[in-house]
Structure 1
Amino acid sequence: MATMFIKHIMFPLSLLLLLFIASPTTNAMLIKDMYTFCKETADVDFCLKYIGTDKRILAAKDFNDVLLIAFSQCKIQVSEATKQINKVRQNFSGPNGKRRIKRCEINYGLASALFDEAYEIGILKGVQNKAHNAALDGLDYVRACEDEWKINGPVQKSPLTFYNTNIDKLFSIIFIIVQKLNG
């Protein structure tokens, strides 16, 4: 009789546990909400790839959490660009190429610090404009790197355009998020 009682008690508890595990995190953003948001951006596929598939999106409770993911994705792109600089450095042995690589290295270092700052400020909530401004300053350094390949000497194709473009697109997402947070 006691075994039967335990089975009857355990079944609803196990069902409740299953529902808890299968259901989304309390107050978490739903995947459909993320898709709807990405449709508001200039590049839906890019948004879904870099923001919507980020593992942390499942725990995001609101747009402030999504903003932190976007800052973090900018930082990842900066890190990848820095690796690219080290890979291609030897391909630019002339004075213009060396100067441009060095300028980009410096700019990406500054951008990295600013995206870190944006993330740290963004954690505080309610100061998203200040975080946005730090990210904008970081973007300006990235853009200056890209521009470096077009000025002060013959125009060359930047070896960092892919990362520069990604950061630019991520910033456009950050801008939309900040507008939503400012309501």
Structure 2
Amino acid sequence: MATTLNKHITFVLSLFLIVLIAFPVVNAMLLQDIYAFCKETNNVNFCLKYIGTDKRILAARNLNDVLLIAFSQCKIQVSEAAKHINKVRQKFSGPIGKERIKFCERNYGLASGLFQEAYETGQQKVLAYRAHLSAKVGSTYVRECEEEWKKNGPIQKSPVTYYNTNVIKLSSIIRVIIDKLYMN
């Protein structure tokens, strides 16, 4: 009798686990909704790459969750840029190059804190717009880093253009989300 009961309990638990694995989040957004959203952005492929393939998208229930992913992706880009700056620092040994590297490090530190603040504030759905403002200021710091390589001396190619561009593109995705959350 105990073995039969154990078999039934095991069967029910196995079935429950299969349902949880097959349908992890009941209220999750559908993938076609994510694709439709990305089609509304300036760069569909970029959106699909950084938002649509983020593993957290499978648990996203609404645009506020997508907004959190975008904030997080900005922070990731800023962190990657900071690592890259450390790798290329020795290539900019002159006084202007050193000053530009220092400027970007400072700006990326500030941007990182602001994107983290945006993420944390955005978790409180009613503060999503305030979170957007933090991310907007963070994007400004990133943009200033890019501009620094074109002024105060000879123009140089920024070593972090790739990351700066990604943050700017993510910022445009954030704007689309904010518009959809607050303008509809």
Q: What is the TM-score when the length of structure 2 is the normalising length?
A: 0.90
Give a deviation string over 1:114-139, Cα, whole Å, max 9, x none.
Answer: 00111111011111111111000000
CA–CA distance in structure 1, aligned partners of residues 109 and 8 of structure 2: 62
Task: Classify 1:10/1:145 alpha carbon distance in 2 versus 1 (closer, same or farther; 3 Å).
Answer: closer
Match of 1:69 in 2: 69
| Coordinate RMSD, CA, aligned | 2.2
1:108-119 maps to which residues of 2 (within 5 A)? 108-119=108-119
Deviation (angstroms), 1:21: 3.4
2:164 corresponds to which letter in structure 1?
Answer: N
Match of 1:134 in 2: 134
Task: Classify 1:91/1:19 alpha carbon distance in 2 versus 1 (closer, same or farther; 3 Å).
Answer: same
Q: How many residues align?
A: 183
Deviation (angstroms), 1:112: 0.3
Q: What is the TM-score when the length of structure 1 is the normalising length?
A: 0.90
Residue segments in structure 1 that go unaligned for 5+ positions in a row: none
Match of 1:96 in 2: 96
CA–CA distance in structure 1, aligned partners of residues 76 and 9 of structure 2: 49
Task: Classify 1:90/1:17 alpha carbon distance in 2 versus 1 (closer, same or farther; 3 Å).
Answer: closer
Aligned partner of residue 125 in structure 2, secondary structure: coil
Deviation (angstroms), 1:22: 2.2
Conserved in 2, the CA contact under 8 Å of 1:41 and 1:172? yes
Conserved in 2, the CA contact under 8 Å of 1:64 and 1:125? yes
Identity of aligned residues (%): 67
Aligned partner of residue 158 in structure 1, secondary structure: coil
CA–CA distance in structure 2, aligned partners of residues 149 and 9 of structure 1: 66
